[in-house]
């Protein structure tokens, strides 16, 4: 990771109480995207215990022009299951006016065909072209997201096993790190030793 991206990553991490409970499981990673207008670039990976959280910072360098497909943004999917039985929670940041601030939505769905839940964050981050996030989950499939101190939770019914990050209609960087957040006394996903 470039020094300036590492500094940005460390300086913008969520400041909520749970962020202080975050135990690092991996080194910080950096995803660079440069998606033409109306297109996206993606990164995906599998997750398993002791990982039950991802935190990160996104920074935009270029906002695309209006298209009929996607606004400039970052979308983070937390997925469980496969095929028609797949369930997911999607944390989406979109610059709907093709410049900041970003609208922030949290959705849960079944196989991209049916929405199971939705929450819109009041916060509108990104006036400095960047924002931070924290997503964490537990064995019963509760997935929570925190952005700028605001918190929302949705259910998908089972522990997520995959993460996907998309960068759309623009260019920038997403610095992220996997870790563990306590699930309480019934923590099936044991903390990092």
Q: What pLDDT, in 10s, does the model give residues 53-71?
A: 999 999 999 998 877 678 8
Q: CA 167 to CA 158: how far, in whole Å?
A: 26
**How many Å apart are CA 138 and CA 171, to the nearest integer?**
32
As a residue count, the chain comes to 193
Structure-block tokens of residue 180: 């563990």
Residue 84 is given by DSSP the state G
Q: How many other C-beta atoms are found inside a 10 Å radius of the C-beta of residue 83?
A: 6
pLDDT digits (tens, 9 = 90+) for 166-181: 998 899 999 999 999 8
Give tens-digit pLDDT for 142-157: 999 999 889 999 999 8
Closest by CA position to 58, among listed 153, 128, 120, 123: 128
Dihedral sign (CA 25, 105, 10, 173): positive
* Token reading at 122: 């009041």
Q: What is the arithmetic mean of pLDDT over 44-51?
A: 90
* CA 149 from centre of chain: 15
Instruction: Copy the structure tokens of residue 145.
Output: 């997201």
**What would the mean pLDDT of 1-5 be, rounded to a whole number?**
36
Query: Is the distance from CB of 19 to CB of 134 less than 8 angstroms?
Result: yes
Give the model's confidence band at 137: pLDDT under 50 very low, under 70 low, under 90 confident, else very high.
very high
pTM given for the model = 0.86
Q: Band of the pLDDT at 113, cuts 50, 70, 90?
A: low
């Amino acid at each position: 990771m470039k020094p300036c991206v590492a500094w940005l990553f460390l300086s913008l991490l969520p400041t909520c109480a749970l962020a202080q409970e975050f135990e690092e499981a991996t080194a910080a990673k950096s995803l660079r995207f440069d998606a033409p207008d109306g297109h996206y670039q993606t990164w995906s990976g599998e997750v398993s215990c002791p990982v039950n959280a991802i935190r990160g910072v996104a920074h935009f360098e270029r906002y695309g022009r209006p298209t009929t497909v996607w606004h400039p943004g970052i979308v983070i999917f937390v997925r469980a299951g496969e095929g028609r039985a797949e369930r997911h929670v999607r944390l989406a940041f979109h610059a709907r006016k093709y410049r900041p601030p970003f609208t922030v939505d949290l959705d849960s769905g079944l196989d991209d065909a049916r929405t199971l839940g939705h929450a819109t964050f009041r916060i509108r981050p990104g006036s400095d072209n960047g924002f931070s996030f924290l997503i964490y989950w537990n064995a019963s499939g509760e997935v929570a997201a925190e952005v700028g101190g605001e918190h929302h939770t949705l259910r998908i019914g089972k522990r997520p096993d995959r993460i996907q990050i998309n960068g759309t209609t623009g260019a920038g960087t997403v610095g992220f790190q996997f870790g563990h957040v306590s699930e309480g006394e019934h923590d099936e996903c044991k903390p990092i030793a």
